């Protein structure tokens, strides 16, 4: 009997589960990392070419400086936990975009962007490290892959990413961009789930602690971010919901994170 493509993909999805670092949660993220990283690379360049990238000055240097420290911590963490191969094809980039939007994000493969609008809220290097660690954690935990998998299932009936790009390139790229909280022009933004947020918070704390930044700065950052709310909620909060329990959860995980902290 001939197996239909959707049925075959449902089978692949069922067996192609991965495990989130630290939490051990099983997730359905069946898009090959090579495809995700390739789409990430081209999409990242599209964003940079259509925006003003800040290449000089204290803030641009700060993003790169902190980014490289978090990168080293991530590579060490993955190596220590037998997952070095999972990021062996990462090609890290850290850029600052001139835009008053309060936002930051990380695409697969270590493609990071901060907007100038979030920098005053970050304040110092430790504040940047909170955001950097959190965003990179989303990528390391394959949350975007997970969201893209579900989106392809819901909107295209489960076709593979390369087929979707071939048949519906614009729609597929828009799904990718919205999955990572990039640019409201691509349509409805997709908030990260409570599960994803908790995982990114925990991993982010470890990454910043390993990089030499005090994880106790994380709750302080989210307090500053929450204070930016009101009538105009920052885009960073629309794509990363500020749950009432976030700071409480961060503080609960703090003793574990402090074990990794070496000032």
- Catalytic annotation, pick one of 75, 86, 100, 135: 135
Cβ count within 10 A of residue 182: 22
**129 and 211 Cβ atoms separated by less than 8 Å:** yes
Q: Tokens 């969201």 map to which residue?
A: 147
**27 and 144 Cβ atoms separated by less than 8 Å:** no
The number of CA neighbours under 13 Å toward the Cβ of 117 is: 13
CA distance 218 to 250: 8
Cβ count within 10 A of residue 204: 27
**Residue by residue, what is the 3-state secondary structure of 44-105?**
HHHHHHCCCEECCCHHHHHHHHHHHHHHHHHHHHHHHCCCHHHHCCCCCEEEEECCCCCCEE
Burial letters 69-103, b for 16+ CB under 10 A, else e: bbbebbbebbeeeeeeeebeebebbbbbbebeebb
Q: Has 146 been annotated as catalytic?
A: no
Catalytic residues: 135
């Amino acid at each position: 009997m001939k197996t239909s493509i959707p049925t075959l993909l449902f089978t692949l999805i069922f067996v192609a589960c991965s495990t989130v670092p630290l939490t051990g949660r099983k997730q359905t993220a069946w898009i090959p990392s090579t495809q995700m990283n390739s789409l990430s690379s081209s999409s990242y360049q599209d964003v940079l070419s259509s925006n003003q990238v800040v290449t000089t000055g204290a803030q641009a240097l700060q993003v790169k400086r902190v980014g490289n420290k978090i990168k080293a911590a991530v590579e060490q963490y993955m190596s220590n936990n037998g997952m070095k191969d999972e990021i062996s094809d990462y090609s890290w980039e850290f850029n600052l975009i001139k835009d008053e939007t309060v936002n930051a994000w990380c695409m697969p493969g270590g493609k990071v962007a901060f907007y100038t609008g979030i920098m005053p809220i970050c304040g110092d290097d430790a504040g940047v490290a909170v955001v950097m660690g959190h965003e990179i954690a989303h990528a390391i935990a394959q949350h975007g892959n997970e969201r893209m998998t579900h989106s392809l299932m819901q909107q295209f009936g489960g076709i593979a990413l390369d087929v979707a790009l071939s048949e519906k390139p614009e729609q597929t790229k828009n799904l990718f961009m919205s999955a990572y909280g990039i640019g409201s022009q691509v349509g409805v933004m997709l908030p990260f789930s409570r599960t994803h947020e908790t995982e990114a918070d925990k991993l982010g704390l470890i990454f910043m602690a390993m990089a030499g930044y005090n994880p106790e700065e994380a709750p302080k950052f989210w307090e500053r971010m929450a204070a930016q709310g009101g009538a105009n909620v920052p885009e960073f909060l629309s794509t990363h919901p500020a749950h009432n329990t976030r700071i409480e959860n961060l503080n609960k995980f703090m003793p574990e994170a402090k074990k990794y902290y070496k000032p």
